[in-house]
Chain A
Amino acid sequence: MIEPLVDVARDFPILQREINGHRLVWLDSAATAQKPNQVIDSVNDFYRWSNANVLRSVHTLAAEATTAFAESRRDIARFIGARKSEEVIFTRGTTEALNLVARGLGDSLTKVGDEIVVSPMEHHSNLIPWQQLAKRTGATLRYVELAQDGTITVDALRAVIGPSTRIVALSKVSNVLGTVNPIQAAGEMVHHVGGIIVVDGAQSVPHEPTDVQQLDIDFLAFSGHKMCGPTGIGVLWGKSQWLDQMEPLQYGGEMISYVDRDTATWAEVPEKFEGGTPNIAGSIGLSAATRYLSNIGMKKVHQHSQALGQLAFDTLYEIPAVTVYGPGRPHGAAIAFNIEGIHPHDIAQVFDSLGIAIRAGHHCAQPLMQWLGVGSTARASVYLYNGEQDILRLREAILETKRYFRR
């Protein structure tokens, strides 16, 4: 029996809730993860005892807040293996981070004849910024072809990455298929032709050890709220050499060095990209989340997510009239499925009546739905507070849904 990795009753009060007469089973962590008391308390404590703006005033609370903000950046840098904490730029989340690279650097990096490579499994937030970039600069958007089981092979990468490739933008782990993509191979190929690789880590950073040096990538985007942190805080990590060239998108306070009536010069990285008062409490909450995860150990988190993801995959695979998408091994924490003749909305509705939260829809990945040949899917996703018991509840709920709709 696979048990939850953490003391759920102690750390996650929300998971003690009863929904429609059943104990809540949260299988929607790919949309957003629940927050442990440790994270909630860190945010509360900041507001209750230490609240002040950062980088502005000389008084004691301002100094405390500024130190806490800087320490958060350092914790998060360490969590992803960044060489310098200045390489961590705070954003609202993955979406803002990817838009920042696409506009701030993509515009100067691409022109007519250049190519940007993405995959059909990308979340809209790692697709539309590149679509729009291609429209602005006249570059061509190219797609790496997926294998039958939804994986990306090294050969498929080789077929699409070439001398004209300036940017490769790929997710490390798919939020629908649970596939794990060959980021290192893609990075090597694009570096060979002088381009860069931008990685959407929204679904990988919460679940596995991340080392940006070892991955040898140029940019990594991720969201705090999918890794037990607060909403409204995320990160764009980038190599200093690129961040120095990248243009800011938000002009205003805090991001400048010298201003006169007609001109302005920019502050150093990372302040250059963080115009305005930042999400101070969010950064503190996110660093508390990295500590929470590190105390458990990201290797253990990874093993747990994969073991449960694969168990869920195998469990659903065996139920008649259920289609599960993506590869069986390795399979990440998100498991997309359909039940023949029952629409995902209806599946999610029956699940809710049983206290189980799953997602139904296109998961912000419409090109992937087109590739799968479906309008939408149901999706269950697991995290460290889930255990085998929850997968059994998932199985029961599917059988109940089939009974309810007489399928």
Chain B
Amino acid sequence: MNLDELYRETILDHNQSPRNRRALENPTKTVGLLNPTCGDQIKLDLQLEQGIVRDVGFTGQGCSISMASASMLTEAIKGQSIDDALALAQNFKAFLTGTPSRLPLGELEALQGVSQFPSRVKCATLAHNALEKMLAESDESS
């Protein structure tokens, strides 16, 4: 097992200096999610405007994989439509279980090594699950 396969440089970088790690002042949507196996939690705030993610922030605590993954996700979805953001989250999750992504994943591809560490897949998808949960809820309200 090669540790560097898991902890790529990009991941260590996002973990050391996470992007968008802040609570938004007036989020349109907020969702919290807990990883019960380790007690880690994440809170995701979205500022939506006419179906577009105008701003996004996350807070919480977790391992380097979950924090880096959240950081990359926020960068990737800023400025995207809700549908595109959701598609990204879904493609990324499939990608981690070995299904090639139909969308470019950008920096998130650095998390590919996680697929060899089944116990860490939950960490890498925590933010994505939070996003999915939030957007599913927004469906219900509209």
Contacts and interface: CB of A to CB of B under 8 A. Distances in A.
A78 interface: no
B38 interface: yes
Interface string B56-69: 00000111110100
B132 to A, nearest CB: 22
Interface residues of B, number: 19
B39 interface: yes
Given A353-B1, A405-B12, A345 B6 contact: no
A375 B3 contact: no
A360 B3 contact: no
B40 A353 contact: no
Given A346-B64, A349-B117, A404 B7 contact: yes
B40 A376 contact: yes
A343 B3 contact: no
Interface string B14-54: 00000000000000000000000111110000000000000
A375 B7 CA distance: 22
B124 to A, nearest CB: 11
Which of the four size classes fits the interface of chain A? 20 to 34
Contacts of B1: 20, 352-353
Q: Is chain B's binding surface mostly helix, strand, loop or mixed?
A: mixed
A353 to B, nearest CB: 5
Interface in B62-101: 62-65, 67
* Of listed A344, A346, A369, A405, residue having the most chain B CB within 10 A: A346
A360 B6 CA distance: 18
B127 interface: no
B40 A404 contact: no
A345 B61 contact: no
A366 interface: yes
Contacts of A366: 39
A286 to B, nearest CB: 28
Given A20-B1, A349-B6, A362 B120 contact: no
B123 interface: yes
A56 to B, nearest CB: 41
Interface of A: 20, 342-346, 349-350, 352-353, 360-362, 366, 369, 375-376, 404-406
24 contacts: A20-B1, A342-B64, A343-B61, A343-B67, A344-B63, A345-B38, A345-B40, A345-B63, A345-B120, A346-B7, A346-B65, A349-B3, A349-B120, A350-B3, A353-B1, A361-B38, A366-B39, A369-B39, A375-B40, A375-B61, A376-B38, A376-B40, A405-B12, A406-B12
